[in-house]
Structure 1
Amino acid sequence: MSSRSALAEPPVAPQEEHPVEPVSHAGRLVSEHDYWCRYYSESDIRYEWNDGRLEEKPVSNYGTLLALAWLAELLRWFLRSEPVAQESVPDMGFRLALPDKTVIRRPDLALVRRDNPQPLLPLDASYHGVYDLCIEALSDLSQADIARDTETKKAEYAAGGVREYYIVHKEREHLAFFHLDPDTGLYRPIAPEDDVIRSEALPGFQFRIADMVAGTDITELRHDPVYNDYLLPAWREAEERAKAEAARAEAEAARAEAEAEARAEAEQRAQAAADRATAAARGRTEAEQRAESEAQARAESEAELARLKALLGNKHDPD
């Protein structure tokens, strides 16, 4: 065997692993049971179910998601002041049994009024009733995506009995707000007044479109007449809660400090008592040692005296 062949082969560099893109099953025919069991909780791809067929939910752009987040935060402030509804979690699905088909939709944001016969329950993974307000962040990646929210879902939500439907986008021309007409069963647009949208499903909730598009800091709007009816009470309540929490924290800190000082004083007293006990024990030991030394000295003196007496006695003995 040659020396070359005896040498070990150089190690092969490991191949860099590329992330595997999730495979979309959009368009696949699946039963409703399989959808709930296998696809509803899919982590990488969000699916909705349209009468037996999977539909992949498209992604909205960042600016549109910011507009949605602004509206969601404003709704939470409103519900603090007027707790007339429950907020669902994003993408919580609900089932619509429509006259011509059955669909399962997952709105980006949804609310359930307190008088809805089907409340949101703590253990719900999907909503078992019909939402009162659905909000979708429009995806404009394709004309089909736009039509999905502006036509298909609009018709489904109206037929299913969703009271209000908002389509949110970062640009005004794609915004749309609808209220269900109980006489026709169709959506009618909510016409803005002075650029303000007023909800009928949530009486008292209103907002200025320009503020949503611009993402105006909500903390700056509490004295604005469009918002102050619900922002100011909620703000004052939040401030009072914050003050109460601060007072409780301060009282707790003072109590903890007092307890620490009391413990320190008790420890100091205990240490002083221990030092006194140690000193007393040391004093007793020293006294015992002195007594023992004195006793030993006396014994030695007595022995010496006895010895001297015996010596003198022997000197006076006539024998």
Structure 2
Amino acid sequence: MERAELASDAPQMRVDSLQSNGSTTEEAAAPPDRQLNPWAPDEGRYVSLEEYWVRWYENPYPDMDVSYEWNNGRLEAKPLPNPQQLELYNWFLDLLRRYLSTHDVANLINLETGIVLTMEDAEEPSGERVQVRKPDIGVILRSNPTPWRDTDHRHFGGVCDLIVEAVSDSTLAEVLRDTEEKKTDYALGGVKEYYILDPSGEHMHFYRLTLEDSFEEIPPDDQGVIRSEILPGLQFRHSDLWRQPRLEELALDEVYSGFVIPTYQVAVNRAEEAESLAEAESQRADAEARRAEAGEEAHRQAAKRVQELEAELARLRQRKS
């Protein structure tokens, strides 16, 4: 179906979807302070946290692929990535998976898994502000006070130690949400490191938490390598975020060889060692063959010389007689 057709059908789809999950047509009317988004028709709607978990957290519509976060009572839609953003996201996710396959220190969450953030806020009557965010990637250390494996819920009730977001840049509001709002809230919520991926490079950042509950940039070293402080050994070259080398290349790169298919490096080393041994054996065999050939040639020359001497001796005897 064409995008224009979807847009024209969105209001009716929205009403049908809301009615199917228990909302009335009157409830489906957009509040006057927000504009209708045909791809996320309830963005901006105010709902309670209890209602969010029941109605809006998973698959809110039967005929639309929309995912909502909950920002202190307000629904916020998660935008979809473009191809370049998706490629960078998948490359970095694979890098993290390779790291955790060799360093069993944390769990990964993604695939629209929600996390609950609670932050102090003097402007709120309760003195705190609550959010349910669905980070593109979340890392939960084994040492986290709320281990992921100990929960029976379909969301994580603790705070991720590392969060990665692929920047959403369809609108300025989306950019500000990832680069400013979430940056502030993740720091206040206690996230130790926050990475923003952006294939354009304009909004690419890698932050670590300070003692003042704010983020500062993780500086790359002289070779442009960025190192995580909470995941020892996780490191990546800044320029590789654009190149996105294949795993086989990373496995032979000293920056990544400690966690990207380390067995591949071992196999390559063994193959090179076997090749060196085979080459040495070939050279030894060639040398022996040359020595044997030289010996045979010397034997032939000696035999020829004997024949010549015998012939000369025969001539001398013939002269005497």
Taking structure 2 as the reference length, the TM-score comes to 0.65
Q: What SS does the corresponding residue of 1:156 show, helix, strand or coil? A: helix
Q: 1:81 aligns with which of 102, 113, 116?
A: 102
Matched, 1:98 2:126: no
Letter in 1 for 2:208: H
Q: Is the 8 A contact 2:199 2:242 kept in 1?
A: yes
Report what 1:27 is aligned to: 44
Report what 2:162 is aligned to: 133
Runs (4 or more) in structure 1 with deviation over 4 Å come to 234-239
Q: Is the 8 A contact 1:90 1:110 kept in 2?
A: no
Matched, 1:38 2:71: no
Report what 2:246 is aligned to: 217
Matched, 1:184 2:212: yes
Q: Distance in 1 between matches of 2:242 and 2:51?
A: 39
Q: What SS does the corresponding residue of 1:174 show, helix, strand or coil? A: coil
Q: What SS does the corresponding residue of 1:98 show, helix, strand or coil? A: strand
Larger Rg: 1
Taking structure 1 as the reference length, the TM-score comes to 0.66
Q: Distance in 1 between matches of 2:182 and 2:257?
A: 33
Instruction: State the shift of 1:235 in Å.
Output: 4.3
Q: Distance in 2 between matches of 1:85 and 1:238?
A: 27
Q: Is the 8 A contact 1:163 1:180 kept in 2?
A: yes
Instruction: State the shift of 1:60 in Å.
Output: 2.1
Report what 1:153 is aligned to: 182
Q: What SS does the corresponding residue of 1:55 show, helix, strand or coil? A: strand
Percent identity for Structure 1 against Structure 2 = 39
Q: What SS does the corresponding residue of 1:151 show, helix, strand or coil? A: helix
Q: Distance in 2 between matches of 1:166 and 1:192?
A: 13
Letter in 2 for 1:51: N
Q: Is the 8 A contact 2:137 2:163 kept in 1?
A: yes
Q: 2:255 aligns with which of 226, 235, 239?
A: 226
Letter in 2 for 1:59: L
Q: Distance in 1 between matches of 2:73 and 2:100?
A: 36
**Cα separation, partners in 2 of 1:56 and 1:226, compared to 1, 3 Å:** same
Q: Distance in 2 between matches of 1:162 and 1:35?
A: 23
Letter in 2 for 1:142: T
Q: 1:163-198: per-residue Cα shift (whole Å, max 9, x none)?
A: 1100001122220000001x2111111112222111
Q: 1:48 aligns with which of 69, 76, 87?
A: 69
Q: Distance in 1 between matches of 2:44 and 2:253?
A: 48
Q: Distance in 1 between matches of 2:209 and 2:267?
A: 34
Extract unaligned runs of 5+ from structure 1: 1-17, 240-319
Letter in 2 for 1:108: D
Q: What SS does the corresponding residue of 1:58 show, helix, strand or coil? A: coil
Q: Is the 8 A contact 2:98 2:261 kept in 1?
A: no
How many pairs were matched up?
A: 221
Q: Distance in 1 between matches of 2:267 and 2:80?
A: 34
Q: Is the 8 A contact 2:225 2:236 kept in 1?
A: yes
Q: Distance in 2 between matches of 1:238 and 1:45?
A: 45
Q: 1:197 aligns with which of 211, 226, 229?
A: 226
Q: What SS does the corresponding residue of 1:124 show, helix, strand or coil? A: coil
**Cα separation, partners in 2 of 1:150 and 1:231, compared to 1, 3 Å:** same
Q: Distance in 2 between matches of 1:77 and 1:236?
A: 14
Q: Is the 8 A contact 1:78 1:234 kept in 2?
A: no
Matched, 1:108 2:125: no
Q: 1:43-82: per-residue Cα shift (whole Å, max 9, x none)?
A: 6211011111111112221101110100000111111111
1:48-67 matches, within 5 Å, as 48-67=69-88
Q: Distance in 2 between matches of 1:93 and 1:46?
A: 10
Q: What SS does the corresponding residue of 1:134 show, helix, strand or coil? A: strand
Report what 1:9 is aligned to: none
Q: What SS does the corresponding residue of 2:251 show, helix, strand or coil? A: coil
Instruction: State the shift of 1:223 in Å.
Output: 1.5
Extract unaligned runs of 5+ from structure 2: 15-40, 122-128, 269-321
Q: Distance in 2 between matches of 1:191 and 1:39?
A: 39
Instruction: State the shift of 1:236 in Å.
Output: 6.6
**Cα separation, partners in 2 of 1:191 and 1:42, compared to 1, 3 Å:** same
**Cα separation, partners in 2 of 1:237 and 1:57, compared to 1, 3 Å:** farther
Instruction: State the shift of 1:139 in Å.
Output: 1.1
Q: Whose RCO is larger (CA < 8 A, sep 6+)? A: 1
Letter in 1 for 2:70: W
User: CA-atom RMSD, angstroms?
Assistant: 2.0
